Amino acid sequence: MIHKTIQLNLKTRGIMVLLTLVVVAAGATMVPIQVIHAQTTPAKNVTANVNASSEDTVSKNVIAELAKPGFGNKYDLLINGKPTPISYNIIGGSLVGMLADPSRHSIDVAINPGPAGGALEIQLPRQTVDFKGGDNADQPYVVVMDGQRITNNPTGICVQVISGRGNACSNIQETFKESQTTNTDRVLTILFGPDNRFVELRGNTGMA
C-alpha cells in the first residue's frame, strides 16, 4: 500500500508539472512558475524516420541520428531566477518545457511524444545536477518516467551508428543510458514511448 501510494504521488506530481508547463507555454500567467525559454537552433537536423520495430522499441534510425555529434537545441532552465542553458536533442517527439527543483537536485522535463515514441538526448552540466557516491565517484542518475523509475540499460541501447548485422540491441522504450561523460558534463539518452509525458532527472548534488 505504501509503495503504491508513493508511485501515485510521483505520478500526480508529474502530471501537475506537465499541466503547469503546458499552461505557461500556452501564454497563461502563473506566479511563481518559471517562464518557458526554449530556443531551437539549426545546428543539427534532427528529422528522422521514426518507425519502431515493435510496440516496445524505438527505431534504430532514431539512435543513429542521435549519435551524430553536437546538439541542435538549447533550453534556458531557470535556477533560482538565473537561466542555465541546457543542450538537448529530441527525435520522435517535442519538448514542452523544463523546471528545476533545487530542493530535490532534479530537473523535470515535459515531452510531447510522437506516435512511435522516440529519444531524448540531454546534456547535464555537473554544477547543475550530478550524482555522486560516498567516494565522490559518479553514480547513475535516478530517472523517473510518469511516476515510475526506469532502468539504466547501458547494454540495451545502441547509441552509435550501426550498419550491417550483429546489432543485438533492442532499444527498449522507458530505458536510459549515460552516453557521454566529461569533467564538466554528463549526457543521458532516454528512450520514451508514445504514451510517456513526464521525465524527472534526479541527482544528489548541484543546482548551482
Rg, C-alpha atoms of the chain: 17
- The CA distance from 47 to 55, in Å, is 21
125, exposed or middle or buried, with CB in 10 Å at 0-12, 13-18, 19+?
middle
Tell me the CA distances in angstroms from 76 to 39, 46, 63, 95, 107, one per residue in order.
8, 20, 25, 13, 12
Domain extent, residue 173, equals 2-206
Indicate the number of domains in the chain. Answer: 1
pTM for the whole structure? 0.70
Mean pLDDT, to the nearest integer, of 181-186? 96
> What's the pLDDT tens digit per position in 16-48?
444 444 433 433 323 233 333 344 333 333 323
Which one-letter amino acid corresponds to residue 43? A
> What's the pLDDT tens digit per position in 109-144?
999 999 988 999 999 999 999 999 989 999 999 999
